[in-house]
Amino acid sequence: MHSRSIRQLSAVVLFVGLLLAGAAAAFAQTDPLPSWNDGAVKTSITDFVVRVTTEGGADFVAPEARIATFDNDGTLWSEQPLYFQFQFALDRIKALAPDHPEWKDTEPFKSALAGDVKGLVAAGDKGVVEILEVTHAGMTTDEFSKTVAGWLATARHPRFDRPYDQLVYQPQIELLDYLRANGFKTFIVSGGGVEFMRAFAERAYGIPPEQVVGSSGVVKFEMDADGKPKLVKEPKVEFVDDGPGKPVGINRFIGRRPIFAFGNSDGDQQMLEWTAAGDGARFMGIVHHTDAEREWAYDRSSHIGKLDKALDEGTTKGWTIVDMKSDWKVVYPPAQ
Amino acid sequence: MHSRSIRQLSAVVLFVGLLLAGAAAAFAQTDPLPSWNDGAVKTSITDFVVRVTTEGGADFVAPEARIATFDNDGTLWSEQPLYFQFQFALDRIKALAPDHPEWKDTEPFKSALAGDVKGLVAAGDKGVVEILEVTHAGMTTDEFSKTVAGWLATARHPRFDRPYDQLVYQPQIELLDYLRANGFKTFIVSGGGVEFMRAFAERAYGIPPEQVVGSSGVVKFEMDADGKPKLVKEPKVEFVDDGPGKPVGINRFIGRRPIFAFGNSDGDQQMLEWTAAGDGARFMGIVHHTDAEREWAYDRSSHIGKLDKALDEGTTKGWTIVDMKSDWKVVYPPAQ
- Report pLDDT digits (tens) over B258-285: 999 999 999 999 999 999 999 999 999 9
CB distance B251–A16 less than 8 Å? no
E strand map for chain B: 67-70, 185-193, 212-223, 229-239, 260-263, 283-290, 297-298, 320-323
Tell me the pLDDT tens digit for each residue of A7-37: 565 555 555 555 555 555 555 569 999 999 9
Task: Label residue A117 by pLDDT band (50, 70, 90).
Answer: confident
Residues of B in contact with A185 (CB under 8 A): 210
Whether the Cβ atoms of residue B299 and residue B306 lie closer than 8 Å to each other: yes
- CA B307 to CA B265: how far, in whole Å? 4
CB distance B248–A219 less than 8 Å? yes
Q: What's at B99, amino acid-wise?
A: D
CB distance B270–A244 less than 8 Å? no
H helix and E strand count, chain A = 13, 8
For chain B, which residues lie within 8 Å of any Cβ of chain A, measuring from their own Cβ? 1, 6, 9, 12-13, 15-16, 64, 67, 141, 185, 187, 194-195, 198, 202, 208-212, 216, 219-221, 223, 228-229, 231, 244-245, 247-248, 251-256, 270, 273-274, 277
CA neighbor of A205 nearest in space, from A76, A71, A302, A52: A76
- CA A46 to CA A40: how far, in whole Å? 10
Whether the Cβ atoms of residue B269 and residue B294 lie closer than 8 Å to each other: no
Tell me the pLDDT tens digit for each residue of A37-92: 999 999 999 999 999 999 999 999 999 999 999 999 999 999 999 999 999 999 99
Containing A48, the helix (H) or strand (E) segment is helix A40-53
Mean pLDDT of B100-127: 91
Look at residue B24 and tell me whether its pLDDT is greater than 60. no
Look at residue B187 and tell me whether its pLDDT is greater than 90. yes
- B31-80+164-327 under CATH 3.40.50.1000, yes or no: yes
- CA B175 to CA B328: how far, in whole Å? 12
Look at residue B209 and tell me whether its pLDDT is greater than 90. yes
Whether the Cβ atoms of residue B213 and residue B201 lie closer than 8 Å to each other: no
Name the minimum distance, in Å, from the CA of B42 to any CA of chain A: 28
CA dihedral sign of residues A190, A191, A194, A199? negative
pLDDT given for residue B1 in this prediction: 46
For chain A, which residues lie within 8 Å of any Cβ of chain B, measuring from their own Cβ? 1, 6, 9, 12-13, 15-16, 64, 67, 141, 185, 187, 194-195, 198, 202, 208-212, 216, 219-221, 223, 228-229, 231, 244-245, 247-248, 251-256, 270, 273-274, 277
CA dihedral sign of residues A268, A269, A270, A273? positive
Tell me the pLDDT tens digit for each residue of B42-91: 999 999 999 999 999 999 999 999 999 999 999 999 999 999 999 999 99
The residue ranges of every structural domain in chain B are 31-80+164-327, 84-154
Look at residue A174 and tell me whether its pLDDT is greater than 70. yes
Return the residue of A nearest to B217 by Cα. A252
Name the minimum distance, in Å, from the CA of B301 to any CA of chain A: 25
Return the residue of B nearest to A313 by Cα. B227
CA dihedral sign of residues B248, B254, B259, B265? negative
Look at residue A120 and tell me whether its pLDDT is greater than 80. yes
Per the model's pLDDT, the better-predicted residue between B23 and B153 turns out to be B153
Based on the number of CB atoms within 10 Å of its own CB, is B183 exposed (0-12), middle (13-18) or buried (19 or more)?
A: middle
Task: Label residue A335 by pLDDT band (50, 70, 90).
Answer: confident
Mean pLDDT of B297-311: 97
- CA B276 to CA A223: how far, in whole Å? 13
Q: Which of A209, A244, A256 sits opposite B209 (nearest CB)?
A: A256
Tell me the pLDDT tens digit for each residue of B2-23: 555 556 655 565 565 555 555 5
Look at residue B105 and tell me whether its pLDDT is greater than 80. yes
Residues belonging to chain B:
336
Mean of the per-residue pLDDT values of chain B: 93
Q: At what angle do helices B117-136 and B84-96 cross, to 10 degrees?
A: 80
Q: Could you report the predicted ipTM of this complex, rounded to two decimals?
A: 0.89
Q: Which fold has domain A38-79+163-327?
A: Rossmann fold (3.40.50)
Mean pLDDT of A130-144: 95
Return the residue of A nearest to B232 by Cα. A248
Whether the Cβ atoms of residue B285 and residue B259 lie closer than 8 Å to each other: no
Task: Label residue A239 by pLDDT band (50, 70, 90).
Answer: very high
pLDDT given for residue B170 in this prediction: 98
- CA A89 to CA A30: how far, in whole Å? 42
Return the residue of A nearest to B313 by Cα. A227
pLDDT given for residue B176 in this prediction: 98
Return the residue of B nearest to A209 by Cα. B255
Alpha helices in B199-288 (DSSP H): 201-205, 245-249, 269-276
pTM of the entire predicted model: 0.90
Look at residue A178 and tell me whether its pLDDT is greater than 60. yes
pLDDT given for residue A213 in this prediction: 98
- CA A257 to CA A185: how far, in whole Å? 12
Contacts of B30 (CB under 8 A, 6+ apart): none
pLDDT given for residue A123 in this prediction: 87
Name the minimum distance, in Å, from the CA of A220 to any CA of chain B: 7
State phi, psi for B137 to the nearest 5 degrees: -140, 170
pLDDT given for residue A240 in this prediction: 95
Name the minimum distance, in Å, from the CA of A306 to any CA of chain B: 21
Whether the Cβ atoms of residue B191 and residue B73 lie closer than 8 Å to each other: yes
Look at residue A243 and tell me whether its pLDDT is greater than 90. yes
Whether the Cβ atoms of residue B207 and residue B187 lie closer than 8 Å to each other: yes
Look at residue A212 and tell me whether its pLDDT is greater than 90. yes
Look at residue A1 and tell me whether its pLDDT is greater than 50. no
